[in-house]
Structure 1
């Protein structure tokens, strides 16, 4: 049926009907089916929440630390391993295609994660994302600080929040 055009392959073993409404986030949809426990994080989550103009070269996902990371060749993925105790903190859903969801960290958790990983992802990305977050009408700095406290990075997030707010 795939060869006849009835189905479209998103990833190995993940198919959609060719006449289904087009997905908004096809790569996230493919990853969600291939790794249902995984959560879209970091730059990929920033893109979903419109907090960066960067386009990641791979879908960035988090998995809980003791579990085995999924092996996904297409779409390209980058795996982060987060502590099991805080893995579910801040998880929300995004509609990757009509009626089909993918797990993604919410805006506040994403900002905190990018700040935690700023040595790997870049400080300019972290500060730029925080700046865009704070300009949003739905920004919740208190929630941001609560997540920072839960994830053990309260001091650097608070300092960054002070700097960005003063601009």
Structure 2
């Protein structure tokens, strides 16, 4: 086992490369939990949540909370209001990160950035997923048309007005097309709900 000084160097290298690292990733490089506790106590690292670390001088991206959530829920996909905010389709600033997970996926304990989990079927969880890098962390986010369809599907959770705002902005900013929204809505069996709003918004265009 390397002595603590070199463990600290390894931890710095890993955190610099990855932005945010889980304790399991640091352990895999030979850094012990005790070393990370000492580094936290000495102000060399920040503990974001249980077993989740970052360097104190790391540049924080506007989407920092998404990077943190992606590390805590590796199988999850950023969805609903958080995906709208990521794509700049809403003025809402979600106090929690909305994450889609599978029906049987493990849910993390509440710690660090608040996460709101929504369970999706396997088919709906794997369609329309984009990968973005935030602070060196790969973050999965649903693409625009899929996000709009999901917002209408879960309108009772997020509010119909939020879903309509997202739809209006997506069309106004030309970030997707009515056809693509309808295709995603049909896959999620929500087309009959979205169509009247889509027709109303595109009638004058």
Query: When the two structures are aligned, how many residues end up with a matched partner?
Result: 166
Aligned position for 2:192 = 155
2:78 maps to 1:40: yes
Pick closer, same or farther for the CA change 1:25–1:10 going to 2, 3 Å.
farther
Structure with greater contact order relative to length (CA < 8 Å, sep ≥ 6): 1
Does the aligned pair in 2 maintain the 1:127–1:164 contact within 8 Å? no
- Segments of 5+ residues of structure 2 without an aligned counterpart are 1-38
Map 1:73-92 → 2, pairs under 5 A: 73-92=111-130
Aligned position for 1:100 = 137
Please state which structure has a larger fraction of its residues in helix. Answer: 2
Aligned position for 1:145 = 182
2:73 maps to 1:25: no
- Segments of 5+ residues of structure 1 without an aligned counterpart are none
2:155 maps to 1:121: no
Does the aligned pair in 2 maintain the 1:34–1:72 contact within 8 Å? no
Distance in structure 2 (CA, Å) of the matches to 1:46 and 1:105: 9
3-state SS of 2:41 partner: coil
Pick the structure with greater CA Rg.
Answer: 2
3-state SS of 2:47 partner: strand
Aligned position for 1:51 = 89
Aligned position for 1:67 = 105
Deviation sequence 1:47-87 (CA, Å, 0-9, x none): 10001001112111110112232223221111100111221
3-state SS of 2:40 partner: coil
Q: Which has the larger displacement, 153-162 or 124-133?
A: 153-162
Does the aligned pair in 2 maintain the 1:86–1:151 contact within 8 Å? yes
Deviation sequence 1:89-145 (CA, Å, 0-9, x none): 111123221x32211111111111101111221111111110000011332222211
RMSD (CA atoms)? 1.6
Distance in structure 2 (CA, Å) of the matches to 1:72 and 1:164: 40
3-state SS of 1:9 partner: strand
Does the aligned pair in 2 maintain the 1:118–1:126 contact within 8 Å? yes
3-state SS of 1:2 partner: helix
3-state SS of 2:123 partner: helix
Distance in structure 2 (CA, Å) of the matches to 1:119 and 1:34: 26
